[in-house]
Structure 1
Amino acid sequence: MYKIVEEVVPDLKDYLDIPPEGMGDVSITCFEPAKKEGISPMEYAKRVASKLKHDYIDHVDVVGGYVNVFFRKDKVLTYSYKPKLEGKIVLEHTSVNPMKPWHIGHARNACLGDTMSRILRYVGYDVEVQNYINDVGKQMAMVVWYLSKHGLDADKKYDHWLGEIYIKANSLYETDATVKQQVDSTLKLIEQGDNPIAKFSRNIAEKCLASQLDTASKFNISYDFFVWESDVIKSGLFDRVMSDLKSKGLVRVVEHGEDKGCTVVDIPEAGLKTNYKILVRSNGTATYTAKDLAMELWRFGYSSIPVCNNSYKHTCSNGELYTPNADKIVLVISNEQDLQQKIIKHILRSIGINNDYIHLSYNTVVLPGGKFSGRSGNWQGYEADTVLEKAVKKIRDEVRQKYGSPEKVAEKIAHGAVKFFLAKYNPRKQIVFDWDKVLSFEGESSVYIQYAAVRAKKIMDKADFESKVSSDLDDVEYSLAKHISLFGHIVEDCAKEMSASKLAEYLVSLADRFNRFYEKCPVLTAEESKKHVRLYLVQRTYETLKQGLSLFGIEIPEFM
């Protein structure tokens, strides 16, 4: 309930904190502001306390240099805060090359992106989720070359099959000079477009994407638009961007030295050795930086290109021309791209684009033996589909022993457990994949939170009386009510920090508090003076847990 105190003393919002139990609901630390004013902390605290008049505030205590604020219990019980932020955000996540399946590392990207899109929508932003389909590249060319030579048909889920084809093709590419030459020729044909090889390549990519989207649906993940690299190339976006930058004098051609003839953008503040970044090489080929820059300018409203909306099924040959006109861009990309994203941000600033460009950088998911590698194929056995299948089997076996649980219930629990595990950590933290932690029924897991929600729902279903608000709350009841009141503030913090870790910790803590309440505060058999307000607490707990889990894209099962 920080916002209540902020309304009264807005200049002290950076000094608010949650005090220990029994010392108020919000505390204000007065030492630093008192020093600035040249008075004692106690005198400053008394001055602040005299200003704290609000319908929600019951009383305040001044202790040393602290002001402890106590709220009215009935107000805390009913308090709800919903942030109202504005603006359009384009958020890109997943973007797995369309010639392999998701492995669990790709799934972390998708789960982080999906969770953040839900959080950003909750706090008020208009969020557009994009999936960039890189269907033009050497990896794609390897698969297209191999299939054009061997003419094989898939004998399993299409993206899994293509991933195995890529391993074989890459092995040949790295050991056979003739194969390398043929793959490079195939890549040129794909880049040129409008030829049989390019059409064959697009057909493969579309079928693979359809298979990847089947995986996404199991994680309850969807997209608003698909942006195909082949369509971007065909649209001429890059040429238009470069022509415009040249006409405005925002880029230049190097006249001397080893980079002579290269088109560059000057960004001395980026700390690069040359103080500039090459966008177009002297032979006329574009760098990755140039292509990334063109995409971000498009997202900020520079030009239109063809995109495919979320009605996508198996083909998308006639994408509509579209310009996002974003106020902010959020890209979910691993920390291996930190320097590249920093450079793009500097370039955007140097050419006068001051909109927010946010790199949601995340660390990788690794195996106990090291990183995933598409080339070596050590992702096999850790495909996102395989992980979900194993999770469902484990959950099904454990739950069936207790309840004879049907398949759909096991899926909700298992899919939620995997997704929560991938999204709950601070994005910068590396995750070592551990089956026991993924599927734990205890502690910091979605299973634990779901179980608390199911408990609450059972009480609600059995209650034959109405819920009512009261200020007569004991310590356990009030602790639960206070924690519920923090929900909107926690979600707002997550939106600002671009991390769902606080929300995950909050939901686990809420489940803890509810379980203590469940043990110490009976509802259905409580005395008349207590059962109505306790039912109200149960209802609010359930609603908050349900809303919180929904921000991770996780549903509550009918029973556990």
Structure 2
Amino acid sequence: MFQRFIEEVYDILKTAIVDLGWDNEDLSIDYYDKISDVSSSLAFKISKRDKKNPKKVAEEIYQRVYPLRDGYDLIGDIKLIGPYLNFYVSDKFISDTLKDVLTRTDNYGSLDYKGSIVLEHTSANPDGPLHIGHLRNSILGDCLGRILKKAGYSVDIQYYVNDLGRQVAVVVWGIENLNLNVSDQRLLRYNFDADMIPQNIKVDHWISQVYINANRLIEEDNDTFGHNKKEIDILLKKFEDKDEDVIKKFDFVVVQCLKGIEQTLNDLDIHIDKYVRESQFVFNGDVERIISRLKDTEYAYYEDGALLLDLSSFGFEKDFVVTRGDGTSLYSTRDLAYHAWKAQRYEDMIDILGADHKLISSQVKTVLKILGYKEPIVVIFEFVSLPEGSMSTRGGRFISVDELLDKMKRQAYFEVDERRQDLSEIEKKEIADMVAIGAVRYDIIKISPDKPTMFDWRDALNFDKRGAPFIQYSHTRACSILKKGGDYGKPNFDLLKDKNEIDLIKLISRYPLVIKEAADNLRPNILANYSRELAEQFNQFYKDVPVLNAATEELRSARLALVDAFRIVVKDSLNLLGISSPKIM
């Protein structure tokens, strides 16, 4: 509805410009104006061009547009304040907004079909559990996927599995050479079977232990003869040469680690459509075809047997390495084959990458351009930090997402238990889990991806900080009111005149526009901030406007319908952020 209102404002301004004999101008519309519903600073641009007084120009435009307002359904009033033209919504806008929400329910805010997108996120190496460094990638990617679907795109969510990377080779070597059940690390041969994995540890955490211990031995060996490092290189070469025994061992490590990672993602309500292995592009010949094509470009040259591309003409100081000296491909080379594969199947590609990938992602885009493929849209995010001393892991190396979620769930349970001792243990645990996951997701996603953020569990779970628990509780409050209020029948929305009511309806009307903005800019934080603002506005309405004890039954019915409209929109917005909407808290 708000989009239609904006379109009417554009139309009435264009009509005025034509009547005045002026060229088609940038209408300079601001729909986040605090004084009006929409304002235009068009007079400034025209006055600058024609060297006129902006107030006089605004007066000329106003004299043209004001008589035209009755020809528009959604424009209620137009006021001239200084050199600004201020537009206000009509009563019909108010009633039509609520009718639209209550009719379309979950589909409110959904936009028309726009095309297909493949979105890759997380793609952590299969050498251990997800850690706090991966968390922003996963949540950002998941939220973007949900928002893009709402905005009309067909979205395929993919996790690119580095199944032939050096890290996997290190784990394979570790399983072959470490006795994982004794402290002195005596050699013991394993048959790469799931029975070897201890039952008292999550499998991806076990993989991490193998990787850390094996890597330590390899690093120590490098100080002497480097035999272990050479064995890793041999494993990688055998894998690319399709050695069946080595492939089986690599596959075991990858499958087991992904089981643990997928369990963590599911805990966060993050779902992957396809796990795409990079090895498939080696084995089907795609990587070799990419290498062959790059050899023939003007940018290619060899150094110590390695194939490189000189990208200095594109502004890069560092050259792009295509193959190592022994002829094996690199992750970045295989990434080219993956993107070429995606470009042939989807209209657009989106990659979610950390700030440490800025250079290599820019180089990959450039090489894809050289090859004639569509370039991906890359969303770069800055990193998440934790307050010093707030959490620590036994190894001191990293904080796993599993550890973070366990802590959040325990703390959330204490909060719920203190507030709702009337609930059963099962109910309290279910609510605590929803609050904990919501708190983590919201605290991460509320900040623009290009800004670093610090995650503090105390702030995330604090109702007064107006994060996810605050928004979730607003939904719970709406559900409680509706349960007590019963059926509201066919309400008369013309009775809604209170400023708190109108402000809430106007904010609800902006929801489709917020979806479009978040999708167009690939910024889920736009939706996160809107959700908080919507909850704040609802709580102000709840505080100042009686619903169940309204002056008349007709007014009570209209206000209940407004509460229901809020419930629909806030629930949908939380869903797009991957956050549950509990009915009780």
TM-score tier (shorter): 0.7 to 0.9
For residues 355-396 of structure 1, the C-alpha deviation after alignment (integer angstroms, 9 at most, x for no partner) is: 4521110111223459x999x95355x211121121111111
Q: Give per-residue Cα distances to partners, 1:133-172, cap 9 Å, x unaligned.
A: 1111121111111112233532411001111221111111
The 3 A distance-change label for structure 1 pair 13 and 238 is: farther
Structure number with larger C-alpha Rg: 2
Q: Is the 8 A contact 1:270 1:343 kept in 2?
A: no
State the distance in 2 between where 1:481 and 1:358 align: 35
Cα 1:13/1:199, change in 2 over 3 Å:
farther
Find out whether 1:292 has 2:305 as its counterpart: no
Structure 2 CA distance, aligned partners of 1:383 and 1:165? 16
Deviations 1:236-278 (A, max 9, x none): 11112233455xx5455438xxx4876555645531237x644
Any conservation in 1 of the 2:94–2:493 contact (CA below 8 Å)?
no
How many aligned positions are there?
Answer: 525
SS, match of residue 201 in structure 2 = coil
Structure 1 partner of 2:103: none
Distance 2:454 2:341 in 1: 36
Partner SS for 1:555: coil
Rounded Cα–Cα distance in structure 2 between residues aligned with 1:47 and 1:85:
41
Tell me the SS of whatever aligns to 1:61: strand
Instruction: Sort the Cα spacing of 1:180 and 1:388 in 2 relative to 1 into closer, same or farther, 3 A.
Output: same
State the distance in 2 between where 1:333 and 1:109 align: 7
Letter in 1 for 2:540: R
The amino acid that maps onto 1:289 is S
Answer whether contact 1:333 1:360 (CA < 8 A) is retained: yes
**For the residues of structure 2 that align with 1:211 and 1:543, how far apart are their CA atoms?**
35
**Residues 270, 33 of structure 1: CA spacing in aligned structure 2 closer, same or farther, 3 A cutoff?**
farther
Q: Which residue of 2 aligns with 1:238?
A: 287
Letter in 1 for 2:164: V
Alignment-derived partner of residue 314 in structure 1: none
Q: Percent identity?
A: 30
Take 1:201 and 1:13, find their aligned partners in 2: how far apart are those partners? 60
Superposed, which structure 2 residues align to 1:219-298 within 5 Å? 219-244=268-293, 250-254=297-301, 259=303, 263-265=307-309, 267-268=311-312, 270-273=314-317, 277-280=320-323, 283-298=326-341
SS class of match (1:545): helix
1:64 aligned residue (78, 82, 86): 82
Change (3 A) 1:68 1:253: closer
TM-score (norm 2): 0.83
**1:417 maps to which of 414, 433, 439:** 439
Residue in 1 that maps onto 2:537 = 513
CA contact (8 A) 2:117 2:156 kept: yes
- Say yes or no: does 1:28 pair with 2:40: yes
Distance in 2, Cα, partners of 1:378 & 1:32: 59
Distance 1:373 1:289 in 2: 33
In structure 2, the CA distance between the partners of 1:383 and 1:281, relative to structure 1 (3 Å rule), is: closer
Answer whether contact 2:322 2:329 (CA < 8 A) is retained: yes
- 1:39-118 mapped onto 2 (5 Å cutoff): 39-49=52-62, 50-51=64-65, 53=69, 54-79=72-97, 82-84=110-112, 86-118=114-146
Determine the structure 1 residue equivalent to 2:256: 207
In structure 1, what residue type is equivalent to 2:232?
V
User: Aligned equivalents of 1:265 and 1:44: distance in 2?
Assistant: 58
Secondary structure of the corresponding residue to residue 62 of structure 1:
strand
Question: Offset at 1:181?
Answer: 2.6
Measure how far apart 1:345 and its partner are. Answer: 2.1
Residue 33 of structure 2: which of 12, 15, 19 is its match? 19
Matched, 1:491 2:491: no
The 3-state SS of whatever aligns with 2:396 is: coil
- TM-aligned CA distance change 1:385 to 1:260, over 3 Å: closer
In 2: Cα distance, 1:516 partner to 1:88 partner? 40
The residue that corresponds to 1:531 in the other structure is 556
- Residue 417 of structure 2 is aligned to residue 395 of structure 1: no
Question: Is 1:352 the counterpart of 2:375 in the alignment?
Answer: no
- In 2, Cα distance between equivalents of 1:59 and 1:198: 71
Moved more, 103-112 or 184-193: 184-193
Q: Which moved more, 1:114-123 or 1:226-235?
A: 226-235
The answer as to 2:239 corresponding to 1:190 is yes
Counterpart for residue 210 of structure 2? 165
**Maintained 8 Å contact 1:141/1:190:** no
Change (3 A) 1:109 1:228: same
* Deviation for aligned residue 1:530: 2.2
> What aligned pairs does 1:436-475 form with structure 2 within 5 A after superposition?
436-464=458-486, 465-466=488-489, 467-470=491-494, 472-475=496-499
Structure-2 residue corresponding to 1:156: 201
**Partners in 2 of 1:96 and 1:553 — Cα distance?**
20
Q: Partners of 2:304 and 2:416 in 1: how far apart? A: 67
Q: Give the 3-state SS of the residue equivalent to 1:70 in structure 2.
A: strand
Structure 1 stretch 535-544 or stretch 289-298: which is displaced more?
289-298
In 2 relative to 1, CA 369–24 (structure 1 residues): closer, same or farther, beyond 3 Å?
closer
Question: Residues 356 and 327 of structure 1: is their aligned pair in 2 closer, same or farther, counting only changes over 3 Å?
Answer: farther
CA RMSD of aligned residues (A): 2.6
CA distance in 2, matches of 1:85, 1:44: 41
The residue type equivalent to 1:392 in the other structure is K
Which segment drifts farther, 279-288 or 498-507? Answer: 279-288
Tell me the alpha carbon deviations over residues 428-467 of structure 1, each in whole angstroms, 9 at most, x when there is no partner.
Answer: 2222232212322222311100000010111111113334
Provide structure 1 residue ranges, at least 5 long, that are not aligned to the other structure.
Answer: 302-324
1:178 aligns with 2:236: no
Between the aligned partners of 1:241 and 1:484, the Cα distance in structure 2 is 50
Candidates 329, 341, 361, aligned match of 2:380: 361
For the 8 Å contact 1:220–1:553, the answer to whether it is kept is: yes
Alpha-carbon contact 1:327-1:356 (below 8 Å) kept: no
Question: Could you tell me how far apart the structure 2 residues matched to 1:479 and 1:425 are?
Answer: 25
Q: What SS class does the counterpart of residue 144 from structure 1 fall into?
A: helix
* Residue aligned with 1:442, SS: helix
Could you say what secondary structure the match of 2:404 adopts? helix
- Give the whole-Å Cα distance in 2 for the aligned partners of 1:85 and 1:490: 17
Q: 1:27 to 1:471 in 2, by over 3 A?
A: farther
- What secondary structure, in the 3-state scheme, does the structure 2 residue paired with 1:359 have? strand
Secondary structure at the aligned position of 1:97 is classed as coil
**Secondary structure of the equivalent of 1:470?**
helix
Distance 1:44 1:345 in 2: 47
AA paired with 1:55? Answer: D
1:17 Cα offset (Å): 3.4
CA shift at 1:39, angstroms?
A: 3.9
Determine the structure 1 residue equivalent to 2:358.
Answer: 338
Corresponding letter in the other structure for 1:19: D
